[in-house]
Chain A
């Protein structure tokens, strides 16, 4: 028995008009019941092809798009908050539904190419209220308009596993685990949505430079990267390779390392301008407030449950280094 010719053409595909109606209805429902979230592209920096991972992934490009939280009546799925041997883990899971054509509009946005001498990135956002479509009797709701490429979207223009979704109302960062692209299953021979199966992000000091303060603050609060705690030189516009001590207007000396008289030199960038203090051993000078954890829930701790500095303090009366120990030399490295 043949399919209904009122909805199908050539016995193969549904009418494009029906498909468009279906697609637009779904998109509108998501716009009604969903929330605006930030979708963050992952940028691979130094992919390790041996172990199949990228420890230095960055997240710099973000786009705001509406998504619907599926099955949200019972809250998050997954194991949620768990007490583990590593402290509190939030193993919440969530599924976002995003309209396919709305997402593909994002991928067609013109983006600013990453440059080597700048951290800027993102897409080209037109200033709000500058699009006058009144002559065509067309009005746009909202204030975010982008330049779009005319290139047709393809199947590759989809949400990618490993990208992030930040939900500003929930205040959580989710990683896309898997993108389901066949639900609902070809009801009109097309699939108008992607379902993003996500869970809360395992943060490993990745760079978050999206320009959105709520997201970038996550890196500030949770990163244990010493780079954040470097002592940097105030002046970066002039050649400043050595830190000089001025005695008088005419005499000056170099700041010397106390142990072996090595100079403390400024790290050169491409323009030979010192920006950070780098020891000859290749390590940075760090500020004193690089404290991983005192174990006392202090806001100064980089990790609220860590006890690194606590043990360092407690061992002062416990470990004994008064005699050389040929079978152990803990503490000799500082």
Chain B
């Protein structure tokens, strides 16, 4: 019943947009005189991946020499949920004319459905100062949201503002315990992106003639008052996205006995 194939890659776009927000975070390290002696961009990656690809990427020739390189940022999706507070009128439609092999057609799409996607952003660092530099460069932008404009339905020429809301921040520092245990210093930032999911696009030929017959079913047929209204574009070769006017004609069909 639902099987019309379509895929607008909306969630993929939101993932890319979210990742882009954090792909240029840098940190510096200063010596005891306050002089910057190291400056680096923090590596960022989407966490969930196929394991064999990770193995091939990070240890292809079995010569991995260290445990991990730090600091680094990872993120992942952690859930989708319907957002009833942003519900739109479900019978309204977007319309757009497009050129195709069969000439121009009119594409229509119902209003999108509001969804929230949750993101978790993880900052892993070896030093507290590195982690704090990263977190302090992120938090001030979220009050508590930061809005991106995303071309989420480019086929229909639709772009939408997508607020990315910072919900919470948690912090984990396993510095206690056995000396052989690894200290993991992780900041976890929880976000919600408020976006819309679009349904399928339907296509139809452009309607170039509208004809209306009025008063055809009056009980009293005498005198007959049928009227026909015909509207066509002017010029008749115009398409829906052209600048055109209308030719309107009306005809009356009066009774035979008159």
Contacts and interface: CB of A to CB of B under 8 A. Distances in A.
Contacts of B154: 317
A46 interface: yes
A81 B68 CA distance: 11
Contacts of B57: 87-88, 297, 304-305
A204 B145 contact: no
Interface stretch (A13-21, A138-146, A325-333): A325-333
Interface of A: 45-46, 48, 51, 53, 55-56, 81, 83-93, 161, 171-173, 177-178, 197, 199-205, 218, 222-227, 282-284, 290, 292-293, 295, 297, 302-309, 311-312, 314-315, 317-323, 325, 327-328, 330-331, 333-334
A328 B147 contact: yes
Interface in B108-149: 122, 124-130, 141, 145-149
A33 to B, nearest CB: 23
B30 interface: yes
A311 B23 contact: yes
A319 B150 contact: yes
A114 to B, nearest CB: 14
A334 B65 CA distance: 34
B212 interface: no
Give the size category of B's interface with A. Answer: 35 or more
Contacts of A319: 17, 20, 148-151
B16 A222 contact: no
Contact of A202 (B30, B49, B55, B70): B70
B69 A45 contact: no
Instruction: Indicate the member of B54, B69, B159 with the most A CB atoms within 10 Å.
Output: B69
Contacts of B150: 318-320
A130 B195 CA distance: 76
Main secondary structure of the interface of B (DSSP, over half): mixed
Interface of B: 13, 16-17, 19-21, 23-24, 29-32, 36-49, 51, 54-60, 63-72, 74, 76, 122, 124-130, 141, 145-151, 154, 159, 161, 163, 179-180, 182
A183 B68 CA distance: 31
Contacts of A302: 43
Contacts of A226: 38-41
A227 B65 contact: no
B140 to A, nearest CB: 13
B23 to A, nearest CB: 4
A86 B72 contact: yes
Contacts of A199: 67, 180, 182
Contact of A161 (B19, B41, B179): B179
Given A90-B64, A90-B67, A205 B17 contact: no
A282 B67 contact: no
B66 A53 contact: no
Contacts of B20: 311-312, 314-315, 318-319, 330-331
A53 B31 contact: no
B147 A327 contact: yes
A126 to B, nearest CB: 30
Nearest to B120: A85
A51 B128 contact: yes
Contacts of A282: 36
Contacts of B129: 48, 51, 53, 55
Contacts of A322: 149
B45 A307 contact: yes
A178 B180 contact: yes
Given A307-B46, A308-B24, A171 B72 contact: no
Given A90-B67, A293-B44, A305-B54, 20 more contacts: A46-B30, A51-B129, A85-B76, A86-B72, A86-B74, A87-B49, A87-B74, A88-B68, A90-B66, A177-B180, A201-B67, A202-B66, A202-B68, A225-B38, A226-B38, A297-B56, A303-B43, A305-B58, A319-B149, A328-B149
